[in-house]
Structure 1
Amino acid sequence: MRYVVTVDGLVGAGKTALSKQLAKRLGFVHFSSGIVYRACGLLVMREKKDPEDEEEVLNLIRSASLKLALKDSGTESTILLNGEDVFSFLYSPEVSDYTSKIAKHPLVRKELFPLQREAFLDRSLVAEGRDMGTVVFPDALVKFFIVADDEVRVKRRLAQLKESMPFLSSTQEALQKELWDRDKRDEERSVSPTKQAKDAVVIDNSSEPLEVVVDKMYKIVQKKLKEKA
């Protein structure tokens, strides 16, 4: 039987690190919905289109080929854009900005919904994103919503960016503004805003070690799996 565990939250809350480790513990595939939107943001940026023009963005996405795939590990997901594995290009500040702008468009979200909902149908998932538990997988086995202090979120995001792009010159102040802007867009968009599912388990990821938080989440999922057995 296929099971889905969702992990939602705002930028820098630690969703990705927690989701990856939880998926590894469970033997599930880790799927981040962000790679779908980021691939589209990258596409719009490369084609020099206006991310605020919903019709133009939608037509561009429809003309492209988007395909989810597994990395060599067999548990981590990636995405092919017109046959090219673009994962390594997805996390620059520029792509993040384009992504946040296109993700607010209702028709774009509707267009990309099936690709997310049908991701890796033959495998159980830890699905990470902003609306995994509220929209894409409302019937998930367990739903988590990750929170963290703003200062912690900024430091994590900066460390993540510098790890993937060592020559990045972004400052903590600039990143703080970027996060606030993205939070505002994500929380206020008319379709699929970032919010906690009513039946979600809230996890505070501000201070405890990663392995401690993952262990808490793992035990919650295991309890649910035993109830289903």
Structure 2
Amino acid sequence: MTPDTAPAYGLWLLAFVNAAVFIMFALSFSKPQTPRDWRSFGAFSAFLVALFAEMYGFPLTIYLLSGWLGTTYPGIDWFSHDAGHLPEMMFGWRGSPHFGPFHLLSYLLIGGGFWLLSVAWPVLYKAQRAGRLATTGPYARIRHPQYVGFVLILTGFLVQWPTILTLAMYPVLVWMYLRLARSEEAEARERFGAEYDAWASRVPAYLPTSRPESGATS
């Protein structure tokens, strides 16, 4: 089968493998423990399943918008796999979408998100084992690096391959992480008291400072 005749969709095994790989990769860094953690991770996993189901299985978004896309952007085979990279197609990128500006931006966002998860988890794990507040490493710059990491990953995938379903899920997931962050802050404040308040007064919740707080080490 040549590339021109190879199916663009219906590759459900590929959809399953990609979703499983990214879910397991995220699981290895997030280590959900409480029912609340598992619920948030389940929502994140559902986002990835929905994404890869459209990326390799059935292009629901392209199907629903095919009339408008065909009229507004003529000359594009919207049921080819490359056309699923909607931002590149809609902004007139003529090269391979895998090297387009939105796709490259998605790599940075996804990679940055996974990197943040990977460096935050060991710090949090050691602090939890020691019964202390995590204030070093990425926690010296932001109070919720793991949630920021998940949002970066979600944003990266959304930029790379936007779909109607993932666009609808995205704000719900961000809202969920904000609620989780507030809940965890309330619990930490109750447990650590003045120590937590002093740390929170120096370290922003989500957007990092230009440098870590004084005396913090990784």
Structure having the higher Rg: 2
What range is the shorter-chain TM-score in?
Answer: under 0.3
Larger % of helix: which? Answer: 2
Larger % of strand: which? Answer: 1
The answer to which structure, 1 or 2, has the higher relative contact order (CA under 8 A, 6+ apart) is 1
TM-score (norm 1): 0.27
TM-score (norm 2): 0.28
